[in-house]
Structure 1
Amino acid sequence: MSDQETSKPLLIRTFGLSIYAPTLLMAIGQGSVLAFVVLSARDLGASLGIAGLIFAMRGLGVMVFDIPAGLALARFGPKKAMLISIILTGAFSIVAAFSPNPIVLGLAIFAVGGATSLWMVSGVGLISESAPIDQRGRTMSLIGGSNRIGAFAGPAIGGFAAEGFGLEAALLIQAFGAAAALILVFAFLQEKNRVRDRTMHLPLEVRQTLNEHGRSFLTTGIAMVILQLVRQGRQVILPLWADELGLSPSEIGLVIGFASSLDMLLFYPVGIVMDRFGRKWSAVPSMSLLGVSLLIVPFTDSFETLLLVGLLSGFANGLGSGIMMTVGADLAPRGREGEFLGVWRFITDIGTSGGPFLVAGIATISTLGLASIATGGIGIVGAAVMASLAPETLRRRHPG
């Protein structure tokens, strides 16, 4: 009997206070940091290229700690792993807010990225253990939706905080969100009682996971790398282009916030589509429209025109709400979710870290406009890869 035939009652309410609300709080802080860290770097004297590199340090931190995060999840379980990640996120956000120079800021953002990796792997692992395959799109899309609501609110909150109290306040939003999330996870998260292996060896676990699931990583993984590259490239292009146009911090916050507003309307319907028709129905349109939006960013010349393009990019991003987490959970073997998801996130986060580095590199040797066009073109190619090479994962079964 398949997973779909043995589906449990819908589990969304189960995760309300333990997963979705903390995710929202963390995402609000993250949205504020992502919107204003490049401006904080510029305020500390960093060049345009160095500011982009500092932004990229978060993605690099996520990627470097993905595999250790997966092993930590397998060893300690979701609750302990999530609590550790929240504490580290809050602490290093405070360091970032009061950084005396770009070097300290970059290191703090790198550490925040590492803590974020542990947070994301733990949340996906918990739901992967609990949600049947025909509900996974909806449960994962609600995590994606919580992130997107935070991405909408965070930049706007951060923008007004920055105007009223300085750029440090925009970065401190992350610390306040982490403090509230810590309370919710500690009080409400319950996990399955199971014996966890405390004698794992990193090289052996990684090698075994790659050997057993190499085909998935080489097909679907490549498509997800491209999706993440375009998404993260978009995150750095929009605020830097807004800065090039001379927009104020509050205007920049509104552009980025409204660019995420359509995500809040799409995430649950997208989850239904993924559960009913398949994961590709989400991924291919998302990558296509993200690519188109970045191709036309350089042709904007005002707050109004950049806002329109931002709305298109937000709509496109919303179409992919939860897709990477859902596909990873589909592919993860039962009983070894942590190890698989750690490697899965490491591979896909090559795009997370590579996107900002790509933008920074092209902007340094050429122009930001060319960087946007190149990133958009990669998005179009990624849509073709997803449509033609990646298998549909909705009805696949995996041995425990």
Structure 2
Amino acid sequence: MFNRILITVVLSVFIALLGVGIIIPVLPVLATKLGASGFALGLITAAFSLSRGLLQPVVGNLSDRWGRKGFLVAGLFIYGLVGLLIPHAGSVVHLVGIRLFQGVGAAMIVPVAMAYASFLAPPGQEGRYMGVVNIAIFCGIGCGPILGGFFSDAWGLASVFYMMAALCFFAFLLVLTNMPACCPIDRQQQTGLLVNVRLMLKRRRTVGILIARFATVLMMVPTMAFLPVMMAGWPGSSGLQTGLVIASRTLMNALLQYPFGKLADRSDKVVLLVCGCLCMSVAVFFIPLATSFGGMVATYLFLGFGEAVLWPVLGAYAAEEGRTRFGHGTMMGVFNLAMSAGVFTGAVLAGVSLDFIGMRQAFSFTSLSIMLLTLMAAFLIRSGEAAGETKVDHHQIAPSS
């Protein structure tokens, strides 16, 4: 399992996401210093999700045809440049533009890394392999906020972004020097992106998977971008405390990825999907009710537990669909497009809710939306499987790369 390609992918994703995680507790603070409203905070996140979302299916499909290394290298280099640009932003408009550019790089990193893991996973072990990549993602994002809070308190906001740049350029060099040029590809039989998307939309199981992916990231902006704003109003709160709260969630998630990945490989995935979603929805509802550092940590730990149940399940579903029908890169690109659409929608709705109905109501509305959409997704997945959509139609299989 832990061969050269997977080890390099996991290490590079961890380092890159560590760099991204560093800026989580400080980017909203920088934005508010530049005059950002609640809507503008949401827009800064939404801009990133928009460019990432639109490009991910294209990059995924092209990586099935051309190989993956070039895309991963380019994405890491763009992330490094973003770290150098953010400290020089002079307005909210500048931040939005930089985040759009960052989304271009993001479209080439996580989906391509997930396609590598999907390709390498033996049938029946998709949850475990996707769990390994998720560990790298969540360890990076989880450890990053702690470092970001420390650097911010010790040397100011700008130092955090320069550290992000250094880490991402290091990951860029790691992949450039250590990753094989390409994996096996089959250009002759690869199906085009639009053809695959039409096939996906005809399958209830695939549509349900994509809706679940969309629903379970609606809370990303309220739980990340609004947390520093909430905690900044507490007496004695620091950037390090904000980083520790965010880290508690993501590290809990990372710790449980592999065991829950094994569970997803041998259990009823729909049941796990609903259970994880219920935990997540309850946690999101109670976040604005927490009034102490300890209470917020406990709430975020429970949120991380719910996510740890969900992520290997959804990753395994996507890997199965990629292997048997659409191609690993194409499926992971569309799968992550659904995630970006969820983050974008959640960012806009949460920002508008914050400005017009208040913080608590914004979290309550998000919690209810997550639960209802995931129940719809579970119904579609189950009905699609009952209709025989898990059977392999060899005429529809797109070769993997």
Give yes or no for TM over 0.5: yes
The answer for the alignment partner of 1:368 in structure 2 is 359
Structure 1 counterpart SS, 2:311: coil
The answer for the alignment partner of 1:8 in structure 2 is none
Superimposed CA distance per residue, residues 46-86 of structure 1 (whole angstroms, 9 cap, x where no aligned partner):
22331232123222222122222223313431111101111
Structure 2 counterpart SS, 1:321: helix
Structure 2 counterpart SS, 1:229: coil
Asked whether 1:336 is paired with 2:327, we answer: yes
Structure 1 counterpart SS, 2:36: coil
The Cα shift of 1:160 comes to 0.6
Change (3 A) 1:387 1:342: closer
Asked whether 1:111 is paired with 2:101, we answer: yes
Structure 2 counterpart SS, 1:22: helix
Distance 1:307 1:397 in 2: 45
Superimposed CA distance per residue, residues 324-374 of structure 1 (whole angstroms, 9 cap, x where no aligned partner):
333222112467333333233223421122122221111111211111111
**Which of the numbers 195, 212, 219 marks the counterpart of 2:199?**
212
Equivalent residues of 1:237, 1:359 under 8 A apart: no
The Cα shift of 1:224 comes to 1.6
The answer for the alignment partner of 2:369 in structure 1 is 378
Equivalent residues of 1:330, 1:396 under 8 A apart: no
| Uncovered stretches (5+) of structure 2, i.e. residues with no partner | none
Change (3 A) 1:57 1:16: same
| Structure 1 segment 178-193 matched on structure 2, within 5 A | 178-190=168-180, 191-193=182-184
The Cα shift of 1:278 comes to 4.1
Change (3 A) 1:157 1:145: same
Worse-matched range after superposition: 263-272 or 52-61: 52-61
The answer for the alignment partner of 2:229 in structure 1 is 240
**Which of the numbers 291, 304, 307 marks the counterpart of 1:317?**
307
The Cα shift of 1:396 comes to 5.4
Asked whether 1:359 is paired with 2:350, we answer: yes
| Uncovered stretches (5+) of structure 1, i.e. residues with no partner | 1-10
Distance 1:18 1:334 in 2: 27
**Which of the numbers 213, 216, 219 marks the counterpart of 1:224?**
213
Distance 2:142 2:321 in 1: 30
The answer for the alignment partner of 2:88 in structure 1 is 98
Aligned AA for 2:327?
R
Aligned AA for 1:212?
L
The Cα shift of 1:15 comes to 4.2
| Structure 1 segment 48-127 matched on structure 2, within 5 A | 48-127=38-117
| Structure 1 segment 145-224 matched on structure 2, within 5 A | 145-190=135-180, 191-196=182-187, 205-214=192-201, 215=203, 216-224=205-213
Distance 2:343 2:216 in 1: 9
Superimposed CA distance per residue, residues 285-339 of structure 1 (whole angstroms, 9 cap, x where no aligned partner):
2211111011111211222222221221122222223443332221124673333
Aligned AA for 2:359?
L
Equivalent residues of 1:152, 1:259 under 8 A apart: yes
Distance 2:113 2:362 in 1: 33
Change (3 A) 1:153 1:376: same
Distance 2:195 2:154 in 1: 52
The Cα shift of 1:197 comes to 6.8
The answer for the alignment partner of 1:256 in structure 2 is 246
Distance 2:63 2:2 in 1: 22
Worse-matched range after superposition: 164-173 or 187-196: 187-196
Equivalent residues of 2:127, 2:316 under 8 A apart: yes
Distance 1:195 1:395 in 2: 24
The answer for the alignment partner of 1:3 in structure 2 is none
Distance 1:192 1:155 in 2: 34
Equivalent residues of 2:208, 2:378 under 8 A apart: no
Structure 2 counterpart SS, 1:35: coil
Distance 1:194 1:308 in 2: 46
Worse-matched range after superposition: 47-56 or 80-89: 47-56
The answer for the alignment partner of 1:141 in structure 2 is 131
Distance 1:285 1:244 in 2: 33
Superimposed CA distance per residue, residues 154-210 of structure 1 (whole angstroms, 9 cap, x where no aligned partner):
000000111112112222332122112112212332332435479x9xxx9343112
Equivalent residues of 1:74, 1:197 under 8 A apart: no
Change (3 A) 1:99 1:13: same
Change (3 A) 1:12 1:352: farther
Equivalent residues of 2:196, 2:326 under 8 A apart: no
- Alignment TM-score, normalising by the size of structure 1: 0.88
The Cα shift of 1:375 comes to 0.8
Structure 1 counterpart SS, 2:185: coil
Aligned AA for 2:183?
K
Structure 1 counterpart SS, 2:298: helix
- Alignment TM-score, normalising by the size of structure 2: 0.88
Superimposed CA distance per residue, residues 363-392 of structure 1 (whole angstroms, 9 cap, x where no aligned partner):
111211111111111222234234333238
The Cα shift of 1:93 comes to 2.3
The Cα shift of 1:134 comes to 1.3
Superimposed CA distance per residue, residues 73-110 of structure 1 (whole angstroms, 9 cap, x where no aligned partner):
13431111101111111112211232122111111112
Equivalent residues of 1:258, 1:307 under 8 A apart: yes
Change (3 A) 1:197 1:83: farther
Aligned AA for 1:326?
A
Change (3 A) 1:318 1:175: same
Change (3 A) 1:167 1:281: farther
